[in-house]
Structure 1
Amino acid sequence: MTEKREYKDDYPEKKLYIPGPTEVRDDVIQEMCQPMFGHRMDRMTDLYTTIVEDTKEFLGTDNNLMVLTASGTEFWEASTLNLVDENILCTTCGSFSERHANVAERLGKNVDRLEYEWGQAVKPEDVREYLEQSDKHYDVVSCVMNESSTGVRNPIEEIGDVIAEYPDTYFVVDAVSALGGDYVDIDEHNIDVIFASSQKAFAMPPGVAVCVVSDDAYDREVSKDSASWYGGFQRAFDYYDRKGQTHSTPAIPIMLAYRKQMKYMLEEGHKGRSDRHREMAEYTQEWAYEHFDMFPEEGYESQTVACIENTQGIDVAATIEGVSEKYDFT
């Protein structure tokens, strides 16, 4: 059993250079210090409708969108319960895509894997070949857009175009560490469900997750009578249409911070924000290729996470500790 460790008040401040949580603007943090108000008040309706519509504008989507008090993990479970009767094909190329498959197995679904070595990207032509040769009908094909464990950015646009050839198969994308920092045209590429967390490229405090759902996926969940209560598409979107609020009590302080940060994101724009991340990624990758090597397959490097292969045998843990102490970041 883990022994209790007392939380102190004198921890040194460290600038965050980790996949998440990421740095949050001071004025965004201050938004969370407002007096509390009720989640069924008109003020909450104003707040939540602003959040939803601003996020849809930022992402350029006409699909349904919810912001739920949860981590992105919630939508692994919810999308599986809402869309999968029997079979799901999980493309796996790292830790998080494998976890998605594990979640589906724990929910009692028949899971097949299209597996890749860590560092390799999922290929659209492999997905097509697998679906063509399989004698099963898959309710869902899942893919991680940005595999944080390997630094791979999967070509979800091309994969979505392949799955569009199978109208009764739904495409579910985990974009937790990419959305907000890497542009994707959700509506154009047959993405039925795509979700992300606030603490990654959205640069918000952790605690809420964003999920975009196509009309087809919504209709599927309605006809299926989903086993998911908290993450049920019908419950969330019908309540929003009737009340302009969330169906369960949200983390109001984080929603306030979300609204503030989303205004900054709208000013920069989806493509502008993506271009800025790409520029930083290319700078980092050039340095890494010169001095070490990148772990992901060349041409599929993430633009929000850098996974560098330790080709020089340095003590990574000691290096990080030393740099953290000297420059106050982690």
Structure 2
Amino acid sequence: MTKKQEYKDDYPEKTLYLPGPTEVRDDVIEAMAEPMFGHRMDRMTDLYTTIVEDTKEFLGTDNDVIVLTASGTEFWEATTLNLVDDRMLVPTSGAFSERQANVAERLGKTVDRIEYDWGDAVKPEDIRNALESSDEGYDAVGVVMNETSTGVRNPVEEIGDLLGDYPDTYFVVDAISCLGGDFIDIEGHNIDAIFTSTQKAFAMPPGLAVCAVSDDAYERELEKDSASWYGGFQRTLDYYDRKGQTHSTPAIPIMLAYRKQMKHMLEETHDARDQRHQEMAEYAREWAREHFDLFPEEGYESQTVTCVENTQGIDVAETVETVSEEYDMVFSSGYGDLSEESFRIGHMGEHDVESIKELTDAIEDVADL
């Protein structure tokens, strides 16, 4: 049984290069220290309507936006409960797409998988073939846009385009580790629900989940006999329309941080933020190819997380630990069974090429590259 380990105040500060959480600006952290206020006060309406409408502006969407106190996992459950009666199609190519399928099965849905080897990307033609060959059809297709375990960026734009031919099948996109650092035209690619967590490319503290919902998805939930209570589209969006607030008590300090950070993101602009993440990804890939290799399939590399194949056989765990101890920088070993076969560099949020280069220089020194 786990024993208590007392939290102390003398931990060294570490620069985070993880696939999340990521670095947070000082003024965003400071915003959480405002005096507490009631979640039914006018001040809460001012706060919540600001972050919701600023998020819509940043993402360039007219779709409704929900911000809830939760991890992104909440919207795996909610979108499944809100949109799927019986059957869901989920292509699996890594740990998180497998988990999305597992969540739907746990909720009692029939899930058909299109299985890929870890590191391979989802192919749109396989989605179309599955839709065409199914006699029953599917209520929804769920795709992980950015497979954090393997560093694969799936072609959700092409998948969404083909789903335009299947108007009765809803498109659910898990963009937890990339939204805000990898541009996506939500309405332009028929996405009915796309969600993220604040601690990833939004570069905010953990604790909030964000979901953009199409009108069709909202109407679909209205037709169902049952739906998510906490993350229900009708419950959350109708309450916002009436009150400009959340239906349940929110994490107010984190929403204050959200307000501050979203102003920074709007000032930078979505296009510029996307470009900065492209530049970091290109540098990380070039470095990986020079010293190791890339784990993901060529042409489908993530824009926010580079998964490096450990072709030199370095001790990944020891390298991660030594870089942390000697340089106060934290990156990640490979996920699960890939813990020594690969390692991952998160280049998302407030990092830039120069800060990523500081990490790769440290890795080179420790691993004697």
Q: TM-score, normalised by structure 1?
A: 0.99
Instruction: For residue 225 of structure 1, report the CA deviation from its aligned partner.
Output: 3.4
Runs of 4+ in 1 over 2 A off after TM superposition: none
SS in 2 for 1:194: strand
Confirm whether residue 257 of structure 1 aligns to residue 257 of structure 2. Answer: yes
SS in 2 for 1:191: coil
Once the two structures are superposed, the pairs formed by residues 105-184 of structure 1 within 5 Å of their partners are 105-184=105-184
Instruction: For residue 41 of structure 1, report the CA deviation from its aligned partner.
Output: 0.5
Residue-by-residue CA offset, 1:10-30 (whole Å, 9 max, x unaligned): 111101110111000000000
Residue-by-residue CA offset, 1:106-155 (whole Å, 9 max, x unaligned): 10000100111100000111111111112121001000000000000001
SS in 1 for 2:320: helix
Instruction: For residue 327 of structure 1, report the CA deviation from its aligned partner.
Output: 1.1
User: Using the alignment, how far apart are the partners of 1:226 and 1:178 within structure 2?
Assistant: 30
Instruction: For residue 324 of structure 1, report the CA deviation from its aligned partner.
Output: 1.3
Over the residues paired in the alignment, what is the CA RMSD in angstroms?
0.7
Match of residue 300 from structure 1: 300
Confirm whether residue 64 of structure 1 aligns to residue 64 of structure 2. Answer: yes
Instruction: For residue 193 of structure 1, report the CA deviation from its aligned partner.
Output: 0.4
Letter of the aligned partner of 1:286 in structure 2? E
Q: For the Cα contact (< 8 Å) 1:75–1:211, is it kept in 2?
A: yes
- Runs of 5+ consecutive residues of structure 1 not aligned to the other structure: none
Match of residue 341 from structure 2: none
User: Using the alignment, how far apart are the partners of 1:315 and 1:217 within structure 2?
Assistant: 47
Instruction: For residue 226 of structure 1, report the CA deviation from its aligned partner.
Output: 2.9
Match of residue 6 from structure 2: 6
Confirm whether residue 104 of structure 1 aligns to residue 104 of structure 2. Answer: yes
Match of residue 266 from structure 1: 266
User: Using the alignment, how far apart are the partners of 2:6 and 2:38 within structure 1?
Assistant: 32
Instruction: For residue 157 of structure 1, report the CA deviation from its aligned partner.
Output: 0.5
Match of residue 225 from structure 1: 225
User: Using the alignment, how far apart are the partners of 2:208 and 2:156 within structure 1?
Assistant: 23
Match of residue 312 from structure 2: 312
Q: For the Cα contact (< 8 Å) 1:91–1:122, is it kept in 2?
A: yes
User: Using the alignment, how far apart are the partners of 1:2 and 1:88 within structure 2?
Assistant: 38
User: Using the alignment, how far apart are the partners of 1:271 and 1:162 within structure 2?
Assistant: 25
SS in 2 for 1:286: helix
Q: For the Cα contact (< 8 Å) 2:65–2:213, is it kept in 1?
A: yes
Match of residue 24 from structure 1: 24
Instruction: For residue 227 of structure 1, report the CA deviation from its aligned partner.
Output: 2.9
Match of residue 235 from structure 2: 235
Identity rate, percent? 78
SS in 2 for 1:239: helix
Instruction: For residue 322 of structure 1, report the CA deviation from its aligned partner.
Output: 1.3
Match of residue 202 from structure 2: 202
Q: TM-score, normalised by structure 2?
A: 0.89
User: Using the alignment, how far apart are the partners of 2:170 and 2:192 within structure 1?
Assistant: 6
SS in 2 for 1:210: strand
Residue-by-residue CA offset, 1:263-305 (whole Å, 9 max, x unaligned): 0000111111011001010001011011110000000000100
Match of residue 91 from structure 2: 91
User: Using the alignment, how far apart are the partners of 2:180 and 2:150 within structure 1?
Assistant: 19
Instruction: For residue 7 of structure 1, report the CA deviation from its aligned partner.
Output: 1.2
Q: For the Cα contact (< 8 Å) 1:67–1:211, is it kept in 2?
A: yes
SS in 1 for 2:195: strand
Larger mean CA deviation between 69-78 and 7-16 belongs to 7-16
Q: For the Cα contact (< 8 Å) 1:226–1:232, is it kept in 2?
A: no
Match of residue 333 from structure 2: none
User: Using the alignment, how far apart are the partners of 2:233 and 2:225 within structure 1?
Assistant: 10
SS in 1 for 2:305: coil
User: Using the alignment, how far apart are the partners of 1:6 and 1:30 within structure 2?
Assistant: 25
Q: For the Cα contact (< 8 Å) 1:87–1:109, is it kept in 2?
A: yes
Q: For the Cα contact (< 8 Å) 1:144–1:174, is it kept in 2?
A: yes
Match of residue 326 from structure 1: 326
SS in 1 for 2:15: coil
SS in 2 for 1:206: coil
User: Using the alignment, how far apart are the partners of 1:240 and 1:323 within structure 2?
Assistant: 46
Matched length: 330
